[in-house]
């Protein structure tokens, strides 16, 4: 099971003197420790005019979303409250989750031609109102699950598209062969989810790389927290600096890599390094980040050639190979990928040949 709020952050909250916050964080940590088919009829018509001026209708996949309500219990899946056949439920979390799943589906289809998390148009399932004051959102291998937050540190998690897409992207990684969720392969697993979470939000907003904020979880902190998001791809280590939460511990360069046995060997902390490598690549290429940088990362993940225990250096080499195959040796794209990984100390900055 993967979750958006890392264990080290929950540990800080659990250690506070406020019983309400400590109880909420302990409940979220307990869940983490417990480890808690494409339907051709589900299509939509895309209308266009061909070169002869004729109206052409093409069928494109549509999401099959099912939202359930846990009714503040920690039992899944909960009571079904909205499907594709239903109007808005009138419950904010339900409708935000429904919209977020749809936006994520649209991103993967529009950007990469992928029909859903499993690439076969399978059901996108989610449960809202999980637990009482539950401080997390997670992917359990089958569905998205959203807590409502404690109201003092975290607001509800359904309001952040980057959070929703991050967790669903863990499913994409699983269906693409998986990356072992520990140490550098686990940090890459987390980073890929951050990358696709950020790109989904940018796609939804129509933003270019230069216009985007490159934040994960912007808006899920309450106004009482001194922080803008859970993580920053542009500047790891700067997302928050708060009396209760402490300072964002993510490094953005291999010289600051954190050796730890906690959090599966630092999967959430050290993901800042490949996150920044992607950001550097995307900024260097400019334009819409999913069109070139995102495509390289996506095709690297889904090519079926990655070892489940690949480290940063191995993944960097794989992205270079993908860029070379796609755009050619000596291309702008290859140089940008190499410079991105060089910028975080994973790869030497050798000129292309």
Q: SS in 3 state form for 328-339? A: CCCCHHHHHHHH
Residue 338 has pLDDT above 90, yes or no: yes
Per annotation, catalytic residue among 166, 170, 203, 268: 268
Specify the range with the lowest mean pLDDT, choosing from 19-28, 273-282, 300-309, 325-334.
Answer: 19-28
| Residues in Cβ contact with 101 at an 8 Å cutoff, skipping those fewer than 6 apart | 63, 65, 67, 124, 126, 144, 164, 168
Res 6 pLDDT > 90? no
pLDDT value at 2 more than 80: no
pLDDT the model gives residue 234: 98
Q: Which residues pair with 146 in a beta bridge?
A: 137
User: 87 or 47: which carries more pLDDT confidence?
Assistant: 87
- What's the whole-model pTM score? 0.84
Which pLDDT value is given to residue 41? 41
Strands (E), the chain: 2-3, 43-49, 55-61, 65-69, 79-83, 124-128, 137-139, 144-146, 215-216, 231-232, 241-242, 246-247
- Tell whether the model's pLDDT for residue 220 goes beyond 70: yes
User: Hey, where are the domains in the chain?
Assistant: 2-343
From the list 331, 304, 334, the residue with the least C-alpha distance to 317 is: 334
- For residue range 36-61, what is the model confidence (pLDDT) as tens digits? 433 334 444 444 555 665 555 555 78
Is the pLDDT higher at 32 or at 10? 10
Its CATH class, for the domain covering 2-343, is: mainly alpha
* Count of other CB atoms within 10 angstroms of residue 206: 8
Report the chain's mean pLDDT, rounded to a whole number: 89
Per-residue pLDDT, 32 = 55
Q: Which listed residue (96, 129, 152, 167) is catalytic?
A: 167
The answer, yes or no, to whether residue 329 has pLDDT greater than 70, is yes
Mean pLDDT in residue range 132-158? 92
Is 333 designated active site?
Answer: no
Catalytic, 167? Answer yes
Enumerate the β-bridge partners of residue 65. 124
- 157 forms beta bridges with none
pLDDT at 42: 44
Specify the pLDDT at position 353.
Answer: 35
For residue 351, name the pLDDT band (cuts at 50, 70, 90): very low
Region of poorest pLDDT, from 136-145, 189-198, 292-301: 136-145
Q: Tell me: the pLDDT tens digits for 103-143?
A: 999 999 999 999 999 999 999 999 999 999 999 999 998 99
Task: Tell me what percent of the residues of the chain surpass a pLDDT of 90.
Answer: 78
């Amino acid at each position: 099971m993967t979750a958006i709020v890392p264990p080290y952050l929950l540990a800080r909250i659990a250690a506070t003197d406020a019983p309400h916050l400590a109880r909420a964080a302990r409940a979220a940590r307990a869940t983490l420790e417990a480890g808690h088919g494409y339907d051709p009829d589900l299509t939509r018509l895309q209308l266009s005019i061909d070169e002869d001026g004729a109206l052409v209708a093409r069928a494109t996949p549509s999401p099959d979303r099912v939202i359930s309500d846990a009714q503040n219990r920690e039992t899944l899946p909960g009571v079904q409250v909205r499907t594709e056949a239903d109007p808005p439920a009138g419950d904010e979390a339900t409708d935000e989750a429904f919209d977020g799943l749809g936006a994520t589906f649209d991103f993967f289809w529009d950007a990469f031609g992928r029909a859903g998390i499993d690439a076969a148009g399978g059901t996108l399932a989610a449960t809202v109102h999980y637990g009482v004051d539950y401080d997390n959102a997670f992917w359990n291998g089958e569905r998205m699950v959203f807590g409502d937050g404690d109201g003092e540190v975290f607001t509800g998690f359904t309001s952040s598209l980057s959070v929703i897409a991050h967790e669903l992207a863990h499913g994409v990684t699983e269906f693409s062969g998986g990356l072992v969720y520990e140490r550098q392969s686990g940090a890459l697993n987390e980073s890929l989810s951050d990358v696709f979470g950020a790109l989904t939000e940018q796609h939804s907003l129509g933003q270019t790389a230069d216009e985007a904020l490159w934040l994960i979880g912007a808006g899920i902190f309450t106004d009482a927290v001194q922080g803008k998001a859970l993580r920053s791809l542009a500047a790891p280590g700067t997302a928050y600096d708060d009396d209760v939460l402490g300072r964002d511990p993510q490094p953005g360069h291999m010289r600051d890599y954190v050796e730890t046995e906690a959090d599966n060997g630092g999967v959430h902390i050290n993901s800042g390094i490949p996150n920044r490598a992607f950001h550097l690549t995307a900024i260097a290429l400019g334009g819409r980040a999913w069109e070139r940088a995102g495509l390289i990362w996506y095709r690297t993940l889904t090519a079926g050639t990655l070892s489940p225990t690949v480290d940063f250096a191995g993944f960097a080499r794989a992205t270079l190979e993908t860029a070379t195959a796609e755009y050619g040796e000596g291309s702008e794209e290859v140089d940008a990928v190499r410079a991105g990984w060089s910028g975080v100390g994973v790869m030497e900055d050798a000129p292309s040949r």
